[in-house]
């Protein structure tokens, strides 16, 4: 018997849209799921946006106040895709009201915020899933399996990179993302959090780290209108996608004001020591001209190596054997035997996309609710990621290695 589950989405920028679409698609790809998500309510503080979402996606109720969702008995599960500084307040309130949470990373501004949400989820006995979606790529899951079975020998070192140009334009408006109080640690929370999760997912716990950070674009124009999402261009002219005027990634228009100071990090470079003895490098940047979602990793072991690039999501470079020197690398095109690939495509090398990873995430969330046990990344993973990000910030400020 399939049970209807009332769900709500808080924050309807790009990620809120992705969550809504994932709910709509999840039973198409996972037909045996015992819960059918029903879009009940949507909340967003930008005037008119919740109403537009309700019209487009079929939510029964639209509101500018997320607190109305806390009190709504129809809602049993909530997606939280609001800005970072609201994660703790919204997450704890929803959990304490008995609602299951699918919350976007980094879950607040610090590890303390993530821990508060985790404690609320545990105290209420609800399920909590976190938006670390890159671990859902079938090639990433296959890499984890190969590492676990010793296909590359003992892992010696890993390099994880997350480069993007979404903040590279000097006229990108000074939104909340660039403020310490509302955006937290900048590129650390935005991109490096994914890197930490990938590192832990593939290699296990991080024992210690040392980091260096930088702000490369120290000033940006202040917007005088509403802006949300990953900023494109502030002011006249055209952005990277040809958008006129002041346009964000979700299409909210504003205008240019006075110049303000960027308060958080554009760049981080971090050396990692894993509990296993492996070493690592994690590098992330939001102002990398010429780089669009250049995310990936290289894992090296005593008998081989693995290579993955998000922009070629369905491929995994594999070098394994006993040649050691001049050992070739083969490209594996993932197929139905890898991860959740079979839920989307019938044969290897048929492309999957970013939104598919969020459908997998939605499936894990709903399955967690149905079975009463976690499937996918949890609030505990968010806490561990937050602890690593906090350690990076301390290391960059004070110098030297920081133990986790």
pLDDT profile of the chain (404 residues), mean per 10: 94 97 98 97 97 97 98 98 96 98 97 98 98 98 98 98 96 92 94 98 98 97 67 46 32 60 97 98 98 98 98 98 96 98 97 98 98 97 98 96 98
With b for 16 or more beta-carbon neighbours within 10 A and e for fewer, the 325-364 pattern comes to eeeeeeebebbbebbbbebbbeeeeeebeeebbbbbbbbb
| β pairing state of 330-333 and 315-320 | antiparallel
- Looking at residue 240, its pLDDT comes to 32
- Looking at residue 1, its pLDDT comes to 74
- Looking at residue 236, its pLDDT comes to 44
Of 138, 127, 53, nearest in space to 343 by CA: 138
Which residues, including other chains, have CB under 8 Å from residue 263's CB and lie 6 or more apart? 178, 179, 180, 181, 183
Of 382, 293, 338, nearest in space to 137 by CA: 338
Do 344 and 205 belong together in one domain? yes
- Looking at residue 105, its pLDDT comes to 97
Print the domain residue range for 397.
135-352+386-403
Q: What is the pLDDT of residues 105-128, one digit of tens each?
A: 999 999 999 999 999 999 999 999
- Looking at residue 81, its pLDDT comes to 97
Tell me the Ramachandran region of residue 322: left when phi exceeds 0, alpha when psi lies from -120 to 50, beta otherwise. alpha
Do 80 and 182 belong together in one domain? no
Do 127 and 141 belong together in one domain? no
- Looking at residue 242, its pLDDT comes to 31
CATH number for the domain that contains residue 96:
3.40.50.720
Distance CA 402, CA 386 (A): 14
Burial group, residue 156, by CB count within 10 angstroms (0-12, 13-18, 19+): middle
Do 361 and 328 belong together in one domain? no
Do 222 and 208 belong together in one domain? yes
Burial group, residue 274, by CB count within 10 angstroms (0-12, 13-18, 19+): buried
Distance CA 289, CA 30 (A): 39
Do 247 and 257 belong together in one domain? yes
Do 245 and 158 belong together in one domain? yes
Do 235 and 288 belong together in one domain? yes
Do 244 and 319 belong together in one domain? yes
CATH number for the domain that contains residue 207:
3.30.360.10
Do 235 and 253 belong together in one domain? yes
Do 362 and 288 belong together in one domain? no
Do 77 and 147 belong together in one domain? no
Burial group, residue 48, by CB count within 10 angstroms (0-12, 13-18, 19+): exposed
**What domain count does the chain have?**
2
């Amino acid at each position: 018997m399939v049970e209807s589950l009332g769900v709500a989405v808080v924050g309807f920028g790009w990620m809120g849209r992705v969550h809504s679409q994932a709910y709509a698609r999840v039973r198409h790809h996972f037909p045996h799921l015992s819960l059918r998500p029903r879009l009940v309510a949507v909340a967003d503080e930008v005037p008119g946006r919740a109403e537009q979402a309700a019209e487009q996606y079929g939510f029964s109720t639209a509101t500018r106040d997320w607190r109305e969702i806390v009190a709504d008995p129809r809602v049993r599960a909530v997606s939280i895709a609001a800005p970072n500084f609201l994660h703790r307040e919204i997450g704890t309130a929803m959990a304490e009201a008995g609602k299951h949470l699918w919350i976007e990373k980094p879950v607040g501004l610090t590890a303390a915020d993530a821990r508060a949400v985790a404690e609320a989820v545990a105290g209420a006995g609800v399920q909590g899933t976190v938006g670390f979606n890159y671990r859902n790529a079938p090639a990433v899951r296959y890499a984890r399996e190969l590492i676990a079975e010793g296909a590359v020998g003992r892992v010696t070192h890993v390099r994880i990179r997350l480069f993007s140009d979404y903040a590279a334009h000097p006229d990108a408006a000074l939104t909340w993302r660039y403020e310490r109080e509302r955006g937290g640690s900048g590129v650390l929370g935005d991109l490096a959090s994914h890197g930490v999760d990938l590192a832990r997912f593939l290699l296990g716990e991080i024992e210690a780290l040392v980091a260096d950070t930088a702000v490369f674009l120290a000033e940006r124009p202040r917007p005088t209108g509403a802006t949300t999402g990953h900023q494109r261009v502030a002011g006249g002219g055209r952005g990277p996608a040809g958008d006129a005027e002041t346009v964000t990634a979700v299409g909210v228009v504003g205008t240019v004001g006075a110049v303000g100071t960027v308060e958080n990090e554009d760049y981080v470079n971090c050396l990692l020591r894993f509990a296993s003895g492996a070493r690592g490098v994690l590098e992330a940047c939001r102002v990398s001209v010429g780089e669009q979602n250049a995310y990936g990793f290289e894992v090296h072991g005593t008998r081989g190596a693995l290579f993955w690039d998000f922009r070629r999501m369905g491929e995994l470079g594999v070098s394994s054997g006993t040649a050691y020197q001049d050992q070739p690398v083969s490209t594996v095109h993932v197929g139905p035997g890898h991860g959740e690939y079979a839920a989307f495509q019938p044969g290897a090398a048929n492309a999957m996309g970013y939104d598919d990873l969020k459908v997998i995430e939605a499936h894990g969330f709903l399955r967690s609710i149905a079975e009463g046990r976690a499937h996918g990344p949890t609030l505990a993973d968010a806490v561990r990621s937050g602890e690593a990000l906090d350690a990076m910030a301390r290391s960059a400020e004070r110098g030297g290695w920081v133990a986790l």
